[in-house]
Amino acid sequence: MSEDVHPPESAFNLLPVEDKKKEKAPRYVSKFRPAVMLERKLVKEPIRTMGPARVELPSPENFLKKHSKEPKLPEQTQSSKDVHKTCSFTERKPPVPRRNDKPLMGIHTKRDFLKETPELVPMKPQPACVDTSKGHKQVLENSGLVPKFITRKDFGRVPAYLQQRSEAERRAREEYENFVKAEREQRAMKHMTEEERQAILKRLKETWDKLHHEYQALPLIIDTMSQRATKDCLERQMKQLEDDIDLFERFKIIYIPNDD
């Protein structure tokens, strides 16, 4: 933004303008700074993060030797040696007989090996089919080639859950049809009987006679607005009654909406 106070062509702009130096605000220093510095010096410990200042160097004579860092077993004592000798798995086995030794003969036993041995049942071979020229076999039982499901008792029957679903759908359909039927019957047109038609026709004619009597009582000269309005109203009502009387006389069968 320009700092000129006067227009650019003003003579006041020829006067020298002193440069105004902007003074910086004093730097903020917390009043707790001395206390923090003192506390930091008190809490600080030497060799906290960088390690010890001086470390003793290893002697060249103590160089790393082979197998020096491997774990060493404790030295065996006399008691441990005795225990090792008495273990069952370390006992000496009898020597193998020589080829010149004669075997013991005439040894008999009372055990009946035929009774102790379970009766062996010969396994029935599983039917299989060879489906490749290299002799690859496939068991027929789980291959789907054997019609074993047709022998089930429930084969060809509708499952129970499908029967329940069909029954629920049938009940819902019947309830909907009954509801629609009731709505139709409620909104159906009602037939007007002959007695009702004659009674209505009679009342219409009586009303027309009454309005016609009032119409005949009007003056011959109609000058005011109220008399004209009365005449027009009577004419409209008589015309509507004439249309209704004509309708009831022409049609013998009349249907009216059911109000129930």
pLDDT in tens, 76-105: 777 666 655 555 555 788 888 888 888 888
Residues 116-130: what's their mean pLDDT?
Answer: 81
Average pLDDT over residues 225-238: 90
Which residue in this structure is represented by tokens 């006992």? 91
Please tell me the least confidently modeled range out of 59-73, 151-165, 181-195. Answer: 181-195
How far apart are alpha carbons 143 and 249 in whole angstroms? 86
Cα three-residue angle 191-196-199, rounded to 5 degrees:
155
Residue 257: band (very low, low, confident or very high) from pLDDT cuts 50, 70, 90: confident
Average pLDDT score over residue span 124-138: 86
Report the alpha-carbon distance of residue 219 to residue 227 in Å, rounded. Answer: 9
Q: What's the whole-number mean pLDDT along residues 122-146? A: 84
| More confident of the two residues 55 and 48 | 55
Say which range, 82-91, 113-122, 142-151, 239-248, has the weakest mean pLDDT.
82-91
DSSP strands (E only) in the chain: 128-130, 137-139, 189-191, 255-257
Q: What is the model's pLDDT at position 207?
A: 92
Burial code of 220-249, b = ≥16 C-beta within 10 A, e = fewer?
A: eeeeeeeeeeeeeebeeebeebeebbeebe
Give the model's pLDDT for residue 136.
87
pLDDT at residue 23 in the model: 84
Q: Write the CB contacts of 145 (distance below 8 Å, at least 6 apart in sequence).
A: 129
Which residues have a Cβ under 8 Å from the Cβ of 197 and sit 6 or more positions away?
248, 252, 254
At 3 the pLDDT is: 54
Band (pLDDT 50/70/90 cuts) for residue 1 is very low
Higher pLDDT, 244 or 131: 244
> What pLDDT is stored for residue 167 in this prediction?
95
In angstroms, the Cα distances linking 133 to 126, 127, 129, 137, 139 are: 20, 18, 12, 10, 16
Distance from CA of residue 99 to its chain's centroid?
Answer: 81
Picking from 217, 209, 198, 259, the residue whose alpha carbon sits closest to that of residue 238 is: 209
Higher pLDDT, 44 or 33: 33
Q: What pLDDT was estimated at residue 85?
A: 57
Structure tokens, 243: 């249309």
Residue 165 pLDDT class (50, 70, 90 cuts): very high
* pTM: predicted TM-score of the whole model, two decimal places: 0.31
**What integer best gives the mean pLDDT of the chain?**
82
Single-letter residue type at 167: E
Span 225-242, average pLDDT:
90
